[in-house]
Amino acid sequence: MPIDKEFRKRWNCTGEHSGHPVWVSPDGSECIHGKTAGVHLASCNGCMKCVPACPTKVFSVWLSPDHGRVVDPVRDADCILCLVCEVVCPRNAIHIERESGSSETLDSLLRGA
């Protein structure tokens, strides 16, 4: 199940973990860590492809009590919006916040359209 790209509007921000916000789905069953670089923990399989791919080292491995080995966006504030992590993630577990007005352009570039 991919990350809900609208989580910043639809999900509830319930707290903080390692300096980034934690969001909980409307039914309370799922969570996303991070704001600029959001990681849907239930989608992440811990493959670690995003860790070396990120130029600013946003992600670190984390043994989550509920999801096991996943990544946590511990340096969320250092994200430079390059979108490499979205490209390399095989599970669509990451969503990067789009700057106002850039969403359609960036999404079409990612699709190769």
Tell me which of 58, 62, 72, 95 binds ligand SF4, using CB under 6 A.
58
Rounded least distance, CB 110 to ligand SF4, Å: 11
Residues 65, 32, 111, 85: what is their CA dihedral angle, to the nearest 10 degrees? Answer: -60
Using CB under 6 A as the binding rule, whether residue 91 contacts ligand SF4 is answered as yes
Query: In 3D, which of 49, 27, 29, 28 has the Cα closest to residue 93?
Result: 49
The tokens for 8 are: 């910043």
- Contact call for residue 102 and ligand SF4 (CB under 6 A): no
Query: Residues in contact with ligand SF4, total (CB under 6 A)?
Result: 28
Distance CA 101, CA 2 (A): 23
**Residues at the site binding ligand SF4, with contacts judged by CB under 6 A:** 37, 39, 44-50, 53-56, 58, 71, 79-85, 88-89, 91, 93-94, 96
